[in-house]
């Protein structure tokens, strides 16, 4: 995200105010993504939240390996990845 903001702020084709608005929108969008990933964890939303967290590349392979094979298989299927090793 910082690289994205750096790109926004270094765009000299836009006015400082336009860049400010772009940075604001970027942060607002990223905040929404993080809220979807981490706010209000419940069993009923756990898989969806894990998918969101994984799509944001916030889980390491070691962390993923700590989940059950069923959870890893579900995540792999929903993310369109190869089946996890058992």
pLDDT at 85: 63
Q: What is the pTM of this model?
A: 0.70
Q: What is the pLDDT of residues 23-52, one digit of tens each?
A: 999 999 999 999 999 999 999 999 999 999
Helices (H), the chain: 2-9, 16-38, 46-55, 61-65, 69-79
Q: Is 19 exposed, middle or buried (0-12, 13-18, 19+ CB in 10 A)?
A: middle
Residue 1 has pLDDT above 80, yes or no: no
Q: What are phi and psi of 57, to 5 degrees?
A: 60, 45
> What's the gap between Cα 85 and its chain centre?
24
Residue 84 has pLDDT above 70, yes or no: no
Share of the chain above pLDDT 90, in %: 81
Domain boundaries, the chain: 1-39, 49-86
């Amino acid at each position: 995200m910082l690289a994205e903001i750096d790109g926004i702020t270094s765009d000299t084709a836009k006015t400082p105010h336009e860049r400010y608005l772009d940075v604001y929108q970027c942060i607002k969008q990223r905040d929404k993504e993080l809220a979807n990933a981490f706010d209000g964890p419940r069993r009923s939303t756990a898989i969806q939240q894990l998918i969101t967290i994984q799509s944001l590349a916030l889980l390491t392979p070691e962390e993923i390996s700590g989940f059950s094979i069923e959870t890893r298989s579900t995540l792999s299927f929903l993310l369109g990845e190869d089946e996890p090793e058992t």
